Amino acid sequence: MGTKMPKLLLGATLLIGLSANQFAYASSEQNSATEAIQNAIEKNQALLESYSPTITYSTNLPSSTDDFSQSNKVSNKASATGLRFTDIAKGNTTIKTEGGRYVYTTASTYGEKLTVVTSATASLWKDIFKEEEGELIDQGDEDMAVGYGTAKSIAGKHNADPGTYRGISLHTAAYEMSLYERRTSDVLMVR
């Protein structure tokens, strides 16, 4: 019995030592994976922040990015992905009224990948001259989100005059160092 105890302790010590070594190895792999994800997010965010498009008036946009089929890739600096915007993000525009006189539009962009960085910018327009031109009423601040988060922007007007109002949203996404863009719209008649 006296000789079994030291062997048992030696075996337990060796097992604990091996387990600790495996834990350190797994922890090291996890740290490098976390660093790679963080690095990808930072690069995508820098790419998205360097892009500064303007929102222009348009009457022929769908209310959701799901209604597009082509890729609409803006740039392709380091990746040869065959992805479409809807493979990495989704976006939509809604326009509503509260109390009949406050009109507001919401742009929402939802990430579909862990390292995607998305943004949404809403703008509110009033149709003039038989929907051939529009007057910019308000533009919301750009909002950004990472991964599966939602970027949301709101633009609105109190005491809106009667007429046709159009919410036009800009949705952007950066993934694998490629930049994607979509524009969506929704319309509301104020009487």
Mean per-residue pLDDT of the chain: 82
Which whole number is the average pLDDT over 92-112?
Answer: 94
3-state SS, 15-62, equals: HHHHHHHHHHHHHHHHHHHHHHHHHHHHHHHHHHHHCCCCCCCCCCCC
The whole-number pLDDT of residue 73 equals 61
Contact 176, 157 (CB under 8 A): no
The whole-number pLDDT of residue 138 equals 97
The whole-number pLDDT of residue 174 equals 95
Does pLDDT of 8 surpass 60?
Answer: no
Q: Name residue 188's amino acid.
A: L
Does pLDDT of 148 surpass 80?
Answer: yes
Tell me which residue of 110, 67, 117, 108 sits closest to 89, measured CA to CA.
110
The whole-number pLDDT of residue 100 equals 76
Q: What CA–CA distances, in Å, run from 55 to 14, 32, 125, 147, 173? A: 65, 39, 11, 24, 16
Which whole number is the average pLDDT over 89-111?
Answer: 95
Kindly state the tokens that stand for 148.
Answer: 């599966």
Per residue in 121-132, pLDDT (tens digit) is 999 999 987 667
Spatial distance between the Cα atoms of 150 and 173, rounded to a whole number of angstroms: 11
Strand order in the sheet with 150-157: 89-98, 102-111, 150-157
Q: pLDDT band at residue 26, thresholds of 50, 70 and 90?
A: low
- Percentage above 70 pLDDT, the chain: 76
The whole-number pLDDT of residue 18 equals 45
Does pLDDT of 80 surpass 50?
Answer: no
The whole-number pLDDT of residue 131 equals 63
Contact 88, 82 (CB under 8 A): no
The whole-number pLDDT of residue 47 equals 94
Q: pLDDT band at residue 3, thresholds of 50, 70 and 90?
A: very low
Q: pLDDT band at residue 167, thresholds of 50, 70 and 90?
A: very high
Does pLDDT of 19 surpass 60?
Answer: no
